[in-house]
Structure 1
Amino acid sequence: MQHPDAGPADEAPRARRPAGSALALIEDWLGPLAGRLILDVGCGRGALAKALTARGAQVVGIDPAVEAIEAARVAVPEARFEAGGAEALPYPAASFDAVLLLNSFHHVSHHLMAAALAEALRVGRGLVLIIEPLAEGPFFEAMRPVEDETAIRHAAQAAIADFVAEGRAIIVRDYVFDDVRHFSGVDAFLDKIVAVDPARAAAARRLRGEVAALMARWGTPEQGGVRLDQPHRAVLLEGVSLSP
């Protein structure tokens, strides 16, 4: 079996673990979080920031959605949040011990992805960790009628590959894992995907029956509900200086 830190997905098959969590991977790859200053890019309503601050990290979160930022400030008063885009981070160079993009890079417009990677590397003093959902798996298949993210998820992976191919960063670690998610039923699932993007609400209501059928097809009955795994790829990047 290939080591999980092997190269990019298109070079050779990589190991998959049947269950994992983004937070466990963050702690494993970045080491002790206590006292470290971390930038959470695409922080949403503050779920990751809350988990990081509980582990002693100092967290700054940024997200283009003003409503999400307002909710994050209430949910995680220990952290600092501000509205802004990943492609133009309002921080000086080398401001943070680490920069994280969890389930957020594919929400960046395709033409701004390279700029977002460059900005993340600019403001960090070390490594940038990107954890992205792949365009496959039970969760993805159940969500597709409401919003099919096939193209943008592939674009996110291609943007990372292009950035590395251009010599602007190197991949330090690269791993695919299954994020295991449990739902009591279709309404709980739809609540989850609408919470990520409220613009999905109308489609979620209209397509409830189709989504329920896909959950039955792709999901695994478990713990009184349904298990829908979502494969994720985690990539740890280190910047490469382009100066002579």
Structure 2
Amino acid sequence: MSNFQQLKDKGLVILYDTAQIPQISADWFDLNYWQTQQAVIGGAPGRGTSLFIETPAGEAVWRHYYRGGLVGRCIKDSYVWQGLEKTRAWQEFKLTAQLLARGLPVPTPLAACVKPKGLFYTADLITLRLPAAQPLMDFLEADNASKLADLLHQVGKTVQQFHAAGLNHVDLNPRNILVNPNLNKVWLIDFDRCQLTKPNFKLAASNITRLERAFAKLNANKTKLWLQAFMAGYAS
């Protein structure tokens, strides 16, 4: 992580990778800046919308941190300030970098941003966009059952690699698993609130249970079949 540098600009605190971005400013976290350059090239649905932007480092994904659940109905995007190192953006940026350094398939983190506001803060994260990757959920209702089984087998195998490294992915779901079937590639994304510890069977099992619940929300009748294909790859 020796390439990571920190700067303050226009009330923002920014952490960035100088190997990917030699220079950066608060403009990187200003929508108008990218729109003026006609560099907003799309978006991805989720909690809020992640924007795809064309940066000097390549196509990237810019995500603002929004609260979910009941709290999110009242407090949109503010978090309690407990110091820079405990902010969501700093922790996710550094965790993603650790996973990447271990050779695991994750996006390359480019920059994290925190805006302190008294006792609270807001945050953003920018990562390189993965090549031709789509959410797993886009493929779950595919007509080709055997191709889907092969894909889920690869997903299970990939998730096991993360668990063997000690990752606890607290929100493992078909949106946070990206795939490229043509390249037989699988990536995990969105490591907000996740932890990297020693391999832990109980935590790994809870991640898989979370994935199973997500499967059931999409199609309860196919959940067992999907999970069997996933677990076959996980155990391989």
TM-score range, shorter chain: under 0.3
- The alignment's TM-score, normalised by the length of structure 2, stands at 0.27
- The alignment's TM-score, normalised by the length of structure 1, stands at 0.26
